[in-house]
Amino acid sequence: MCGLCGVFLAEGAWSDTAVTSLATGGRTARHERLYRVARANRVLKLFHASVADWNGVSYVVSDATGQTEIVASIGAVWPVAERMCKRPIDPLDERVIAAMARA
């Protein structure tokens, strides 16, 4: 637990584990984390939401109305963002596929 803010240091999710255990095209762990945030935001911007890194240990999910929530892993971003924007974030949605193909 972080002594200053009381946040539990979460166990790494499988996709986040890759930061330290997989080579990532020469990116450092910090760079990789920011790259992951940028890739997630490509999808989230379609839903007027976004995610940002929080001190290298968590992520902050926000929407256009100012709602904000901290999550532990990138996998935990999606249900929170869906709750905020009240829509499913579905990679099989044709609009998402079309937008991502253009990105």
Residue numbers of the site for another protein (CB under 8 A)?
A: 11, 13-15, 17-18, 21-26, 32, 35-36, 39-40, 43, 74-75, 78-79, 82, 88-92, 94, 96-98, 100-101
Q: Considering the complex, what minimum distance in angstroms separates the CB of residue 6 from another protein? A: 19
* Cα end-to-end distance, the chain, whole Å: 38
Between 2 and 83, name the residue whose CB sits nearer to another protein. Answer: 83
Between 4 and 101, name the residue whose CB sits nearer to another protein. Answer: 101
Nearest residue to 39 via CA among 53, 26, 28: 53
Q: Considering the complex, what minimum distance in angstroms separates the CB of residue 78 from another protein? A: 4
C-alpha to C-alpha distance for 81 and 9, rounded to whole angstroms: 21
Nearest residue to 48 via CA among 64, 59, 36: 64
Between 4 and 92, name the residue whose CB sits nearer to another protein. Answer: 92
C-alpha to C-alpha distance for 96 and 93, rounded to whole angstroms: 5
Between 4 and 80, name the residue whose CB sits nearer to another protein. Answer: 80
Q: Considering the complex, what minimum distance in angstroms separates the CB of residue 14 from another protein? A: 4
C-alpha to C-alpha distance for 83 and 3, rounded to whole angstroms: 30
